[in-house]
Structure 1
Amino acid sequence: MAKADDPVTMDISDVEWRLGHHVGGGELFEPCNKTDIRRWVMAMDYVNPLHWDQRFASQTRFGDIICPQSMLVALDYGHGNNQACVGRIEGQHLIFGGEEWWWYGPHVRPGDHINHERIFTGYKLTDTKFAGPTLFQSGDCIHRNQRGDLIARSRPTVIRYLASEAEKRGMQAENAGELRKWTASELDEIDQIRRHWFLSNREGKSPSFAAVKVGDTLPRRVIGPHSIASFTTEYRAFIFNIWGTFYWQGVEGVKDCWVNQDMGWIEGFGFDEEGAMIDPRLRDGLYVGPSRGHIDTEKAGEIGMHRAYGYGATMAAWNTDYLAMWAGHDGMVRHAKSEFRSPAFEGDITFIDGEVVEKIEQSEWGVPLVRIKVRMTNQDGKTVVTSVNEVELPY
């Protein structure tokens, strides 16, 4: 039996040997459809008519509704983190630490079926005030459509920690603060900012590279107040969370390629894979599984998160959508690197602000890019996400 003053350690022996290996995981049965797209932008509160309004989209150069760039993560499995979440660590939980994306190819359209090549690429064990021994893991996923076209590459980072140690330290209680109650006048002000943002470029006009200047700011966006309802809506927009939408796939020639093994969840946060063959709720994620803490304050406390909180993959999507709205129909987000500093807690709002910090006329992409720094903050000015991004604009 360990003594009270014994140092807390994390056994990562099942992680280390997997470095560089291809990873299996979930793949969706059906191609993307328009209902999937509409469900996604509704959950992200991305009021861009190109992605939900059939009449509007038919009059654009695309001729139809298309997927927002952010939606690739919803066409993947496990909130896009399958390739980073490998190896069993007893008593662990995890949160998302950041995402990096590169977009190469054509837009994803209804009828496209996205395939994934996943590789576990890195890990670092360190010590944090939040939970003591903490493991940062990353992995690459290459996203291609059914024709083999390269659409994008993503590199998420997950933060794995010992749930009991995080619960004992209670660091997130101070970070989360008290649940905010909003007055009618405050909610009206939030709604005005929200409306001003989505009307700022509803027609999808792209600013020209020549016209944009260093120091230009993007219109402010606001999301929230976040709630159990909004977190649940977001969760259900990730298609793999819907009953019967995916199957497990290994990697040919790779022994133990980490498909659907138990990562070492504490009691009450794991899946019942066998039982789910009869009752899919047993691997649903919200009712049973690791995402319970997102919508259940009591469960959030068991993993050191104090109260219900949002999803890392969602925050990265907010960033991409924010940039894409500004870039318009003839622009494209080429690269986005986001670092997650804090979750979006229940009751909070999230402000999103961006500034052009550099113009790159001759880029490695062969197109002119503008570099934009984005910062997300809550109502108290606390930083939630920082990101550096490159956006293509027409000449």
Structure 2
Amino acid sequence: MATLAEETRNRFPKITEAGLDDLRKRIGVAITDTVEPWNYEASRDAIRHYAHGIGDDNPLWCDPAYAEKSRYGSIVALPSFLFSTSRIVSGYCGGLAGVHAMWAGADWTWHKPVLRDDVIRTQAHLKDLVEHQTRFAGRAFQQIYHVDFFNQHGDLVAECDSYVFRTDRDEARERGTKYTEARGRVEPFTQDQLAQFADMYAKEEVRGAATRYWDDVNVGEALPRMIKGPMTVTGFICYAQGWGGLYIRANKIAWNMFAKHPGLGIPNRFNVPDCPERVHWDEAFALEVGAPGAYDYGPERCSWLTHHITNWAGDDGFLRKSKCQVRRHNPDGDVIFIDGSVIRKFEENGRKLVEIQQRGETHRGELSVIGSAIVELPAKS
């Protein structure tokens, strides 16, 4: 019989061989039974809410009068908006009931723009399951999904491989070497620091209608630095409002969800099943699963990288590809600086393309995220 100490230490369900075998059987099988997306349609409000959720005020997404004068003739959905049209690409994953899932990266390709009032449908399947040994939680499994996105005309507008890491919550809490010194850390900013951050926001450049030509871009050219933060729980919730979250449900709909997925609900202090997503606003629960505190969403950080690119590319540029790898949690109180540089200019299938390398670090110099992008730009000729 387990002791009280052991029961306390082993509070959460474990990764089991039976669970892994079941997951492997799902590889390549089309997913037909999943929760509905936050957005089916790229409405004016849905696009604006998502853009504002990542702090993006580009008028191409948000201002109909401005967008009418662009080459699109209407509001366009920002590239990362598609996170809100698929729970699976955003981290909703099957199997291993009660085992923590951390969204950790995505590899996007966009084929066509998503215009105002486009209706999006998706097709998805589990692509692979890869075992890793991690400092954070020991044995972990990278669960990779592929999602295709189609508009109302049947056109493939985008595709994405995204992945979560399935980790043992108890192991992460006990091991926790990655965040030992960061857990629950509170470091107030000085007024000088806050003034510096405010100045960076004030000077943030949205390229907009000033066309950036492929001819004028040089390898080695640096993109303007972008700031995100300081992180707050309010900011995390703001993102969830635009993106929709994975498991945020209320009353009867919440109970129906927990009844269908018994391992999903984690008892709160009232012994009421509550969603695991509360790690993003409940610091005590975040600490229980080994995180340093309430932290940002993975798709949110991926969206910051694409925001960095679209600001630079302007209205006439088109983001073709983006890769994002999340390297650590960003708890409230963190600030992220995103830098990028042009590493290649090339032509492919008649397109003028630029490859950009990106890196995001905290204000303490900790690596937060790495990424890359391929952007199509117009040529003067």
**SS of equivalent residue, structure 1 residue 32:** coil
Equivalent residue number for residue 101 of structure 1: 108
> Following the alignment from structure 1 to structure 2, what is the Cα–Cα distance between the partners of residues 171 and 307?
14
Matches within 5 A, 1:154-165: 154-165=160-171
Distance of aligned partners of 1:46 and 1:53 in 2 relative to their CA distance in 1, 3 Å threshold:
same
Aligned AA (1:148)? G
Distance of aligned partners of 1:130 and 1:261 in 2 relative to their CA distance in 1, 3 Å threshold:
farther
Q: Does the 8 A contact of 2:90 with 2:103 survive in 1?
A: no
**SS of equivalent residue, structure 1 residue 389:** strand
Matches within 5 A, 1:342-361: 342-361=328-347
Equivalent position to 2:44, from 18, 34, 40: 34
> Following the alignment from structure 1 to structure 2, what is the Cα–Cα distance between the partners of residues 21 and 160?
20
Is 1:182 equivalent to 2:189 in the alignment? Answer: yes
Is 1:389 equivalent to 2:355 in the alignment? Answer: no
Equivalent position to 1:58, from 45, 65, 68: 68
Equivalent position to 1:228, from 228, 233, 240: 233
Q: Does the 8 A contact of 1:74 with 1:237 survive in 2?
A: yes
Equivalent position to 2:30, from 2, 22, 33: 22
Aligned AA (1:158)? V
Residue 63 of structure 1 and its aligned partner are, at CA, apart by 2.8
1:21-79 deviation digits (Å, cap 9, x = unpaired):
11132334752211111111111001211111233223323333221111011122256
1:276-310 deviation digits (Å, cap 9, x = unpaired):
xxxxxx99xxxx31211110100101211131000
Equivalent residue number for residue 371 of structure 1: 355
Q: Does the 8 A contact of 2:40 with 2:120 survive in 1?
A: no
> Following the alignment from structure 2 to structure 1, what is the Cα–Cα distance between the partners of residues 124 and 343?
33
Ranges in structure 2 where 5+ consecutive residues have no aligned partner = 7-13, 254-258
Residue 110 of structure 1 and its aligned partner are, at CA, apart by 2.4
Equivalent residue number for residue 11 of structure 2: none
> Following the alignment from structure 2 to structure 1, what is the Cα–Cα distance between the partners of residues 167 and 203?
40
1:160-201 deviation digits (Å, cap 9, x = unpaired):
01111111112343363522312222112111112212x352
> Following the alignment from structure 1 to structure 2, what is the Cα–Cα distance between the partners of residues 134 and 10?
11
Equivalent position to 2:57, from 47, 59, 62: 47
Equivalent residue number for residue 328 of structure 1: 314
Ranges in structure 1 where 5+ consecutive residues have no aligned partner = 248-259, 270-281
Distance of aligned partners of 1:171 and 1:266 in 2 relative to their CA distance in 1, 3 Å threshold:
farther
Equivalent residue number for residue 9 of structure 2: none
Matches within 5 A, 1:245-260: none
Is 1:304 equivalent to 2:310 in the alignment? Answer: no
Q: Does the 8 A contact of 2:239 with 2:300 survive in 1?
A: yes
**SS of equivalent residue, structure 1 residue 13:** helix
> Following the alignment from structure 2 to structure 1, what is the Cα–Cα distance between the partners of residues 267 and 190?
36
Residue 97 of structure 1 and its aligned partner are, at CA, apart by 1.6
Residue 9 of structure 1 and its aligned partner are, at CA, apart by 6.3
Q: Does the 8 A contact of 1:172 with 1:305 survive in 2?
A: no
Distance of aligned partners of 1:356 and 1:164 in 2 relative to their CA distance in 1, 3 Å threshold:
same
TM-score by length of 1: 0.83
RMSD: 2.5
Aligned AA (1:163)? R
> Following the alignment from structure 2 to structure 1, what is the Cα–Cα distance between the partners of residues 365 and 372?
19
> Following the alignment from structure 2 to structure 1, what is the Cα–Cα distance between the partners of residues 62 and 228?
19
